[in-house]
């Protein structure tokens, strides 16, 4: 029995098929991207764990960050706190290769740092008579903290940026 061919069905069927192929390809790309992001996050966590494993306390974290900064060419000092001041074991003074004096607030914190942390770092930067301020953490920064840092001119180094630094330090010389 011959099949009746209706050309109008092709006009409806082909766009639906095309839409199905497009949605399938987009879903596949999304799944692949999510997997890649998960692998990168796992790699970052592993790298930070390997390099900061000895940093079980805030004081040890500051010492490890000082080592990383030295490897990046900075001259690093741990400032003395006045007797009446509380030592949070966060402060570093780092002189960049270009001579710029940086105040570095090295904070071991797994969560997302908030704007008050940036304000504290900026205040301590002034107390230590530094030209630039930087906050380094093994955690992340809240969006509002990033805004506050931009307002105060404070550089931020979160877990991903710190992992990038560590990768660069461990890369074989070319």
Contact 105, 135 (CB under 8 A): yes
Q: pTM here?
A: 0.70
Whole-number pLDDT of residue 19: 72
Distance separating alpha carbons of residues 29 and 95, to the nearest angstrom: 45
Q: In terms of C-beta distances under 8 Å and separation of at least 24 residues, what long-range contacts does 37-43 make, across chains too? A: 43/163
What's the pLDDT tens digit per position in 103-113? Answer: 999 998 989 99
What's the pLDDT tens digit per position in 137-161? Answer: 999 999 999 999 999 999 999 999 9
Whole-number pLDDT of residue 54: 52
């Amino acid at each position: 029995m011959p099949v009746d061919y209706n050309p109008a069905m092709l006009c409806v069927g082909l766009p639906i098929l095309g839409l199905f192929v497009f949605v399938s390809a987009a879903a596949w790309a999304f799944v692949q991207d999510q997997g890649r992001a998960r692998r990168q996050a796992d790699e970052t966590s592993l790298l930070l764990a390997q390099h900061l494993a000895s940093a079980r306390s805030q004081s040890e974290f500051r010492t490890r960050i000082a080592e990383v900064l030295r490897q990046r060419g900075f001259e690093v000092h741990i400032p003395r706190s006045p007797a009446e001041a509380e030592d949070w074991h966060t402060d570093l003074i780092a002189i960049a290769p270009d001579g710029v004096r940086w105040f570095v607030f090295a904070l071991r914190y797994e969560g997302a740092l908030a704007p008050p942390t940036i304000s504290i770092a900026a205040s301590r930067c002034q107390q230590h008579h530094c030209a630039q301020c930087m906050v380094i953490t093994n955690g992340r920064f809240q969006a509002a903290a990033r805004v506050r840092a931009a307002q105060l001119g404070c550089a931020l180094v979160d877990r991903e940026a710190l992992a990038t630094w560590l990768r660069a330090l461990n890369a074989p010389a070319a």
